[in-house]
A and B are shown apart, each in its own frame.
Chain A
């Protein structure tokens, strides 16, 4: 279970949100809504532990994530605004290195299969600099398709649907739905309407929370 307790985030002299609490039990999806500039990305980075909140704390399985950084990291898969895709490396190398860095075992066949599923199998051996924006996004998202089982339990996705075409969006929705149904947790932000079948969605609205705080 992931829990946020009384989070407050101040960037510069602007308070983005204050007293924000929620919890996310297994097999749930948390949709983080809010207008541009309300602090969605900051909140996701706080949930990952990349950013420290001004007040409050994030707890994972009832322990603060700052105390169990490495254990938490093994359970977490974060895909941020930046794709984390290296221009000089091929799509396949990017995926394999990304997986190895996250401490996951992944054979070449599994990696190729994941790229294939995301529809970038044909570009597997091309350097990422020759790929389009959407294709790079797909290479980054291929980490989600590396296969369930020992994979990370918690996915934190910042605008996962951005730059994707309809087919890829549909595929990603399916991937998220099956992860959540299998007992995983997903936190995501998006401005697009999305449909995940038979999944309980928890919605946190930063606009609303900010109004309430005022």
Chain B
């Protein structure tokens, strides 16, 4: 088995053995989204208007909540050192880790989102765009978040620091992700927004693993 496949398999196996962590993220997402209709009242037009923003912000926070687990355990038990010393380039292993992290924290959000959208009485095509925008956007969140998680490794109070580092970088993803859904709800084409999200994904796929690997080496130093 190649080291890349080995990391993906290992992280999925670890997530499976620590299922509660995965459910925590998902339940957090569901609860945050469900709080809004309770807070602002059952006015359908108002709910429909705020749905894209609310779901996207909740997805953002849920993705960020899961970041602290990305490297912390590997750092504590010494497996991160072994990864840094593997004959494989570290950025490849980072891609593997981020991929499996997205599969267990990002993908469930994508799949859960349309169900939550129904709570807000979102039209069907807007739900479709919501899923596509999240499917393109959440991997970007994981990739950008990995840099923050790597930089704050072993720092006291790292959780808050990650939020401060990463949330500003999440803004473009939020703007175009929620924008796509709003556009489709208004009867416009969401294509431009989605293409930009795709561009963000391509860009972060190239830059973030490299930056993360560098940050990890600094944290191990």
Interface residues of A (CB under 8 A from B): 48-52, 70-71, 73-74, 76, 78, 80-89, 93, 97-98, 100-103, 127
Cα–Cα, bound, A132→B6 (Å): 26
- Majority DSSP secondary structure for residues of B touching A: helix
Contact indicator B78/A103 (Cβ below 8 Å) = no
- Measured CB to CB, the closest approach of chain A to B114, in angstroms, equals 32
By beta carbon, the residue of chain B nearest A93 is B13
Contact assessment for B79 and A84 in the assembled complex, using a CB-CB cutoff below 8 Å: yes
Are B82 and A84 in touch, CB under 8 angstroms?
Answer: yes
Is B72 an interface position by the 8 A CB rule?
no
- A51-B221, A73-B85, A84-B82 are contacts. A103–B77 as well, Cβ < 8 Å? no
Contact B79 A80 (CB under 8 A): no
Within the complex, which residue of A49, A73, A83, A97 is in contact with B87, where a contact is CB–CB below 8 Å?
A: A73
Over the window 77-103 of chain B, the binary record of Cβ atoms lying under 8 Å from chain A Cβ atoms (1 yes, 0 no) is 111011111111100010000000000
Near A by CB (< 8 A), chain B positions 49-93 give 73, 76-79, 81-89, 93
Q: Can you name the residue of chain A whose Cβ is closest to the Cβ of B218?
A: A52
> In the bound complex, do residue A50 and residue B85 qualify as a contact, i.e. CB atoms below 8 Å apart?
yes
Q: Is B158 part of the contact surface with A, judged by Cβ < 8 Å? A: no
Cβ–Cβ contact A101 & B3, under 8 A:
yes
- Chain B residues near A81: list those with CB within 8 A: 78
B84 touches A50 (CB 8 A): yes
| Chain B residue nearest in CB terms to A99 | B6
Residue of A nearest to B7 (CB): A101
Q: What is the interface size of chain B, counting residues whose CB is below 8 A from a CB of the partner?
A: 27
Q: Report the minimal beta-carbon distance from B89 to chain A, rounded to whole angstroms.
A: 7
Contact status A100-B77, CB under 8 Å: no
Contact between B17 and A88, CB atoms less than 8 A apart: yes
B89 touches A78 (CB 8 A): no
Please tell me if the beta carbons of A88 and B81 are within 8 angstroms of each other in the complex.
no
Q: Is the CB of A97 within 8 A of B6?
A: yes
Could you mark each residue 197-221 of chain B with 1 if its beta carbon is under 8 Å from any beta carbon of chain A, else 0? 0000000000000000000000011
Interface string of B1-43 (1 = CB under 8 A from A): 1110011001001100110000000000000000000000000
**Residues of chain A contacted by B78 (CB below 8 angstroms):** 80-85
Q: Contact at A52–B221, with CB atoms within 8 Å?
A: yes
A71 to B85, CA, bound (A): 11
A89 near B13 with CB under 8 A, answer: yes
Q: Which residue of A lies closest to B2 (CB)?
A: A100
CB neighbours (8 Å) of B13 from chain A are 88-89, 93
What residues of A have a CB within 8 angstroms of the CB of B17 in the complex? Answer: 88-89, 127
A81→B82 CA distance, assembly (Å): 12
Given contacts A50-B220, A52-B221, A101-B82, contact A85 B88 (CB under 8 A): no
In angstroms, how far is the closest chain A Cβ from the Cβ of B93?
8
CB-CB under 8 A from B221, the residues of chain A are 50-52
Q: Is the CB of A76 within 8 A of B85?
A: yes
In the bound complex, do residue B81 and residue A50 qualify as a contact, i.e. CB atoms below 8 Å apart? yes
